[in-house]
Each structure stands twice: as structure tokens, then as C-alpha cells.
Amino acid sequence: MADYQVHEYDVLVIGAGGAGLRAAIECATLGAKTAVICKSLLGKAHTVMAEGGMAAAMGNVDKADNWQVHFKDTVLGGKYMGNWRMQQLHAQESADRALELEKWGAVFDRTPEGKINQRAFGGHTYKRLAHVGDRTGLEMIRTLQDRAVAQGIDVFMECTVVDLLTDGGRVVGAFAYWRETGKFIVFKGKATIMATGGIGKMFRVTSNSWEYSADGQALALRAGAELIDMEFVQFHPTGMVWPPGVKGILVTEAVRGEGGLLKNSKGERFMEKYDPKRMELSTRDLVAKSIYTEVKEGRGTEHGGVWLDISHKDAEYIKKKLPSMYHQFKELADVDITKEPMEIGPTMHYVMGGIRVEPDNGAATIPGLFACGECSGGMHGGNRLGGNSLSDLVVFGKRAGEGAVQFAKANQGSIRVDEAQIKRAEENLLRPFASNAKHTPYDVHFELQDMMSDNVGIMRTGEDLKKAIASFPAMNEKLRTSRVEGSRMFNPGWHLWADMQNMLLVAEVVAKSALQREESRGAHTRLDFPKTDTGYWESVNSRATVENGAVNVGVFEKPTMPGELKSLVDGESK
Amino acid sequence: MNRMTSGNKVTFRLLRGEGGDNLKEVSYDVEAETGWVVLDAVLNIQAKQAPDLSVRWNCKAAKCGSCSAEVNGRPRLMCKTRLDDLDTTQPVVVHPIKSFPHVKDLVTDVKWNYEVNKRITPFTPAPNADFTYFQEDVDRVQEFRKCIECFLCQNVCHILRNHEAHDRFVGPRFFVRMAGLEMHPMDTADRTEQLAAADGVFMCNITKCCTVVCPEEIHITDNAIIPLKERVIDRKDPVQWLFRKLAGKK
């Protein structure tokens, strides 16, 4: 007899951050029997860490704002690499999604007129980010969580999906284990929505949590789907750099949005050299590279960062608008940000690339699979603007939900899962318990983090990238033979072993995509190809697939923006 | 404050074991780096010495409320507890939170909280309500909405911890949640009957342990629980009822 539970749903949503919850809410609203499956407890997903706000052109503060300007900002911020249709839908619908959150109980900070307040952020022409101090993500996830709970959606918490199940190329379910007991569980679903977030844990210095192990991207690849734009990895300009224990923890862009200044060790506002017009509120790719350059050229702080200073603002105002930053520095670094500058440097933060989807309904390139949020690609192109992620989650979460329900309704027949696939997944997952090798998955993890940070980081060269690519066979083998000890009950070493398979696969995609793109654009900087190529490389997106375990990268022609949208982008800024 | 430097040896005694049986403290020595928090040490022990050591964590920045534990007997977030604020000449003792069933090592089964949460009447605005409201209307609601669900308040509340009244008392976390709903300017639902009966708000005898341990510094007792008790009493008062009726309030 099979040693696993089986559950059947119309739609499976994998991941319970902003995108997954918004997708699940849509599915349930449309009458689909829906399950949410998530690795952590409900409400702990990465969205909870988002700080600065949600971009939505409501025009509550700057009346001149509208979706057209938001669209243009996003296209320019993405360095022309983004999918125009996703960027259009996002700009048009994010205001409705913000107001919807408010109707579901989210309590955003207010304007004097009693509307949702909006703040300035890098790359946004107008004050555009709906926010709650610097804990906007918490507000968003709690609102969505409460809504999903009120709808009675089934949530499988602390349950990790390790493989998608397919039937003739169509995704029909997922194989998972309970983190607590280590027991296996099979989900059958007419449609599956991937909403698993990012890939940050393959880097040494990152603002991402343990959950960001590239699961959705890897599962989709192994099931036959395509990824795009994976060379575009965002390094947030401002992470903590000191003390070592906190290295990488995010310092919200809202510090700059509220007037924070960047200075080098000589006290110069160095952004004057790199982007005199927008200064501190330039796009993240540019600010991160500027900081990198200042430090590299010897104008960094003692611990290899630069200064971010908001202390010229009124202390009470800082505490009101940036409360968690105030506490974070006070408690973790003994720095009072109302009096002293913060020491900061770039930290890996976000991946622009991801699962290739249809803009309107989130459908991946294989039937039955949908994706939304950070694990999907296309929306942000070569660089994401701050605040465009929280809005992305709810705009495309809703759309992926609609797409999945439509697919489920059109494919009502009974679901057949392949026992052989399940057996293979089980055997694979139990193999490391039999190893008595000296090395553990943690050793492989540190090796991967060092390799990615040193060779596939913020500044890249063909030589380094080739070195990285050449190291994957050995790392894969090392993982395969590594040792997991203890029982199957809540065993982090074992969990990491499973996650590492995903990280290694997707890391190879990132390195190969980065080697392929022989230019510098947005978050992808090649020291051996320092110029942006407005010809060929601007006309193509990269794509990646896996066949028989081998990673293949290539390109496809970037969809052409229609004339009326192009004129919005080419028109004069107001 | 004594700020230690990298390389100091610190001994940790972590509670280990599965399902409540054979639980024992196990010692680990680590070389601590400057500015480490307890979670850094626990994750280091996990990576270098005890790969199957169970612990919950996510953000490592005091925003998600996953890494709650009892450090030297005090309920804390491990990601917010710096080693140099502890006496590291003595072993640092880390136990899981206690008001819920033990699973393994530093992990407890907190599912009960998620079940309780399902019973709460959700946010209920009037149909087609105009959502114009002002900052001063929501300052107090925003305080409650800071809650990161670390459940440290649930852990220390003696009604749950000592009296194990889980079947008739929802605990401070959910009074905070209900206060946030009840005081939301756009909400129209009335949760007072549930608060008084099934949720047991009057069982709270204001010892304020919850407020003391809250990492978000929410004034749980003063700003949430006491006003909720008053609301329940008001609601039963016929004069107050008539006043609300005439004023058109809920």
C-alpha cells in the first residue's frame, strides 16, 4: 500500500505569500475547491518582510499621477527588458488592488484628506507607494491571510512540495512532505499555481529567508516549463553591513524615500556623480553599482559599506515613518538612526527573471501550470522598481487565480497521477539517509553561496561565469552523496538537502543566462561587456529549459510594444 | 555594555528531543562573531554540529515572529536577542516556548492558534461604504496590526500556560486581533458576545505578562484587553444601547 496521504482539489496554490494568497482568494471566490500549500506557518512568508510600500498610481498625494506614468516608469526602470503587456496590466490594475486590500481591512497610513497616503521611491516619478510605516508587507499578508481564512480555504502549513506530477506533459498535482513528521503527501489538482518566491539563499549576503531556495523555478523546469530573464538578479543597494551577524538584513528604500542621504567615507553625496537628477532616488541597479564602485575605489566605510543618513530629519518623524528601521539599528547595531548614519551596502534581494507566463492569465509554458509573484518572470525586466513587487503580487495573483480556475473548469475529467513518478520522488528523497559521507547539505550550501557571490554577483565577467558553470557537476555530485542524519521528524538537514537540489539547478540557469547576455543592462553587469546594447540584446529575452537533467539556455524575440504604449514611453516626462 | 569581539567561545545548552519524551539539554560550544544574536548561534550549531536540530525561523529581522523561544528562561525572539546582552561566561540555555505541545528540539506545535483564529468574525464593512477615514481614527488600530504572531504573549499568559484553559480562553494574541477589528472605523460587526462567552475575555486578570514580552511593544492589556472588556459591559448596558441606537453607531 502506498505510504502517503492523497488530497484532491480543483486548484493547488504552492506558496502563501502575497501572490499565493491573492491567487487562492480569487480561486475560492470563483467557486473552485482550493488548497494552499506552504513551507512555513501561515503569515510568515517573505511578503511579511516587505517594508517600503506598494506602488499604485492612485494620485492621492501627487494628483498628476496615473497609470500611464507608472507604466513608463516601470518600462524605463526595467531597462526595456520587461514584458509590455504585464507592465501595462500592472500599472492599470494596481490601484484597484490597493483599494481592494483596504476594503478587506488593510489599514494604510492616511493623507490629511483621509485617503491612502503615498510616499516617494526610487524610479517613481510621483509619490506612489501606499504604505504602513515601514511594515507594509506585514499589513498586506495579514489582510490576505485573514481574507483567505474567512473564505475557509484549506491551508497545508509546513508542508514542502518537492516535485510536480505530470500526465502527458500536463501538470496534474504535486508530491510533498510534512515538515513536522516527514511523511509524504500527494496532491491532485486540475490546475497548479506556483507562487513560491525567489532564489536568494544561493547567495552569501542576502535579505532573503531560508524559504527562498528557488523551489518554484526548479519544479517548473523539471516539469518541462521554461524560465526567462534569469540573469537579472537584483542587489538591493541598502543592506546592513555591520555587525557580521546582521550582514544582508534589509534597510528599506523608504529611508531614501523619506529623505535619507547617501554619503561616502569622505562625506560626499556620491550619487551626484552617477545620477545627478534623481540622486538617492535613482533605480536600485544604479544605486547598488554606485555604492559598489565607491567602496571598490577606496571611499567606503571601515566595514566595506557607505553611509545612509536620515538624522537631519525630526526624530519623532523618523520614529513614526520608519519605526522598524529605528528599532532594527538600535537593537542589532547600537545605532540611533535619529542621531547617526547607518552603515549599508548591497545585499541580494530579488530575482526579476522566473517562470515564463502568459501576461493575462499567468499560464506557464506547459498545460495546467500557472505562476505569479517573484517566481514568475517578465514583469520587471532588467531591474525592479521598489514598490512594484507588492503590487505585482496582487495584480498577477488575482489573474493567475482566474486563469487556473478557467483551466480547471475546462479540464473537468478525473485526474490520473503516475505511481512511478511518486515512487521515484520518494526514493530520491530518502536516499541521503543511507549516506555515511562526512559532508552534509550545509557544506554544499556554503560552497554554492561562495561560488555564486564570488562569480555570479553584482559585477560579472565571462571568465568568472565559466568558472561557476564548470563547478556545478562536482557540487551536484557532492549533494547527491551528502549525509543526512537523524529521523524524518522536523529535520532541517534533510529539508536543506531537498531545497539544495532546487538551488543548484536554478543557480546553473542564472550563471548560464548571465554568460549568454554579452552586454550590461539593469541588474546584469558584465565588466567584459560594459555597454548596453540597444541593438540585438535589447530585442531578445533569455530563456532556459531542462532536458534530461541538462540546462539549456537560449533567447526568444521580445514581444513588441504597441504604438500607443510606445508613445507613452517615448513622450516627454512631466 | 560589554561588546564582545569575534572568536569568543560561548556554550549553549539547547533542549533536544522528540515529542516530549527523553527531553534533555545538550551542550554545544560555538565561536561567536561580533553582534551575533542567539539565532545566529543556533543556526551555526545546526550547520556545523547538529544538522537535524529543529528550529523555526524566517526573516531574522524581527518581522515574522517565527523564532520565539525561552532564552535563559525569558521568552524572546532569538533573532532579536544579542549574545552581548547575555552573560556568556555562563552557558546560554535555550528552550522552546511552552504553552503548546512539544514537537522536536526548539519547535512546538502552535496549530491551536490557527484554529482559534478561524472562529473570529472577520472584518465586516458596510456595503458600499466610503473608505475615507483619518490617521487619528486608526492610530490605535495600527498598534494592534503591528502584531507579528510570535505567540510569546500566548506562551506567558498564565491562563494558557498554567491553567491550560485553551478550550475557553483565546489568549492575548486574539484579543489584540479582535481589538483591531472592533476599533476599525469601517467595521460593523459585533464580537462582544463571543468575547464574553467562548473567548473568555473576563478570565484575563490583567497581570500584564503579555505586554511585557511583546517584541512589538503593543500595550496588549491597557489598549486591547481592557477596552474590549469595557466594550462588552457597555454593550449590555441599556442606556448605552439606547445612546448608540440614537447616534447610529454599532
B40 belongs to a structural domain: yes
Q: Which of B87, B108, B129 is the last residue of a domain?
A: B108
Say whether both A331 and A430 belong to one domain: no
A462 belongs to a structural domain: yes
Q: Which three cell numbers stand for residue A200?
A: 536568494
Say whether both B33 and B139 belong to one domain: no
* Number of independent structural domains in chain B: 2
Percent of chain A with pLDDT over 90: 97
Say whether both B54 and B78 belong to one domain: yes
A529 belongs to a structural domain: yes
Q: CB distance A489–B54 less than 8 Å?
A: yes
Q: Are strands B24-32 and B8-16 parallel, antiparallel or unpaired?
A: antiparallel
pLDDT at B248: 66
Say whether both A428 and A531 belong to one domain: yes
The CA distance from B117 to the nearest CA of chain A, in Å, is: 8
Q: Which of B108, B128, B151 is the last residue of a domain?
A: B108
- CATH of residue A478's domain is 1.20.58.100
Q: Does residue A395 carry a pLDDT above 60? A: yes
Positive or negative, the Cα torsion across A311, A313, A319, A321?
Answer: negative
pLDDT at A8: 98
Percent of chain B with pLDDT over 90: 86
State how far the Cα of B84 lies from the Cα of B6, in Å rounded to an integer: 11
Average pLDDT over residues A18-25: 98
pLDDT at A1: 45
Say whether both B143 and B243 belong to one domain: yes
Q: Which of A349, A366, A385 is the last residue of a domain?
A: A349
Q: Does residue A278 carry a pLDDT above 60? A: yes
Q: Which of A306, A334, A349 is the last residue of a domain?
A: A349
Residue among A114, A139, A327 minimizing CB distance to B134 = A114
Say whether both A344 and A428 belong to one domain: no
Q: Which of B81, B108, B135 is the last residue of a domain?
A: B108
A189 belongs to a structural domain: no
Query: Cα A50 vs. chain centroid, distance in angstroms?
Result: 11
Q: Which three cell numbers stand for residue A342?
A: 547607518
Average pLDDT over residues A209-228: 97
Q: What is the pLDDT of residues B211-241, one digit of tens each?
A: 999 999 999 999 999 999 999 998 877 777 7
Q: Does residue B1 carry a pLDDT above 50? A: no
A128 belongs to a structural domain: no
Active site residues of A: 236, 256
Average pLDDT over residues A310-319: 96
B41 belongs to a structural domain: yes
Contacts of A138 in chain B (CB under 8 A): 63, 145-146, 148
Mutation for testing the B interface, residue in A41, A103, A321, A447 having most B CBs under 10 Å: A41
Contacts of A331 in chain B (CB under 8 A): 62, 80, 82
Say whether both A243 and A341 belong to one domain: yes
Say whether both B84 and B186 belong to one domain: no
**Residues near B148 by beta carbon (within 8 Å), at least 6 away in sequence:** A48, A138, B62, B63, B64, B65, B215, B216
Mutation for testing the B interface, residue in A138, A156, A181 having most B CBs under 10 Å: A138
Report ipTM for this prediction: 0.95
- CATH of residue B120's domain is 1.10.1060.10
Mean pLDDT for chain A overall: 96
**In terms of residue numbers, what domain contains A431?**
420-542
Taking CA atoms, A390 is separated from A22, A383, A416, in Å, by 11, 15, 36
The CA distance from A151 to the nearest CA of chain B, in Å, is: 10
Q: CB distance B40–A245 less than 8 Å?
A: yes
Say whether both B237 and B168 belong to one domain: yes
The CA distance from A80 to the nearest CA of chain B, in Å, is: 32
Positive or negative, the Cα torsion across A353, A354, A359, A364?
Answer: positive
Say whether both B177 and B141 belong to one domain: yes
A295 belongs to a structural domain: yes
Q: Nearest-5° angle of CA B22, CA B28, CA B32?
A: 145
HEC assignment per residue over B108-151: ECCHHHHHHHHCCCCCCECCCCCCCCCHHHHHHHHHHHCCCCCC
Q: At what angle do helices A136-150 and A84-103 cross, to 10 degrees?
A: 70
B1 belongs to a structural domain: no
Say whether both B238 and B128 belong to one domain: yes
* Number of independent structural domains in chain A: 2
Q: CB distance A104–B123 less than 8 Å?
A: yes
> Residue A557's beta-bridge partner residues?
A540
B56 belongs to a structural domain: yes
Say whether both B76 and B134 belong to one domain: no
B210 belongs to a structural domain: yes
Contacts of B34 in chain A (CB under 8 A): 243-245
Q: What is the pLDDT of residues A398-450, one digit of tens each?
A: 999 999 999 999 999 999 999 999 999 999 999 999 999 999 999 999 999 99
A85 belongs to a structural domain: no
User: For residue A2, what pLDDT band results from cuts at 50, 70 and 90?
Assistant: low
- CATH of residue B39's domain is 3.10.20.30
Q: Does residue B3 carry a pLDDT above 60? A: no
Contacts of B57 in chain A (CB under 8 A): 209-210
A439 burial level (CB within 10 Å; 0-12, 13-18, 19+): middle
B103 belongs to a structural domain: yes
Say whether both B127 and B19 belong to one domain: no
Q: CB distance A492–B54 less than 8 Å?
A: yes
Run of H or E residues at B47? helix B38-48
Q: Which three cell numbers stand for residue A133?
A: 510605516
**In terms of residue numbers, what domain contains B81?**
8-108
A223 belongs to a structural domain: no
Mutation for testing the B interface, residue in A331, A439, A479 having most B CBs under 10 Å: A331
Mean pLDDT for chain B overall: 93
Q: Does residue A495 carry a pLDDT above 60? A: yes
> How many Cβ atoms sit within 10 Å of the Cβ of residue B130?
9
pLDDT at B8: 86
Q: Does residue A363 carry a pLDDT above 90? A: yes
Q: Which three cell numbers stand for residue A66?
A: 496615473
A264 belongs to a structural domain: yes
Say whether both B199 and B86 belong to one domain: no
Q: Which of A296, A321, A349 is the last residue of a domain?
A: A349
B176 belongs to a structural domain: yes
- CATH of residue A255's domain is 3.90.700.10
Contacts of B56 in chain A (CB under 8 A): 40-41
**Residues near A303 by beta carbon (within 8 Å), at least 6 away in sequence:** A241, A242, A343
Give the count of Cβ contacts less than 8 A between chain A and B: 168
Q: What is the pLDDT of residues A72-110, one digit of tens each?
A: 999 999 999 999 999 999 999 999 999 999 999 999 999
Q: Does residue A359 carry a pLDDT above 60? A: yes
Q: CB distance A487–B52 less than 8 Å?
A: yes
B2 belongs to a structural domain: no
Give the start-end residues of each E strand in A18-148: 34-37, 54-55, 118-119, 129-130
Say whether both B193 and B120 belong to one domain: yes
Say whether both B139 and B104 belong to one domain: no
Q: Is A113 helix (H, G, I), strand (E, B) or coil?
A: coil
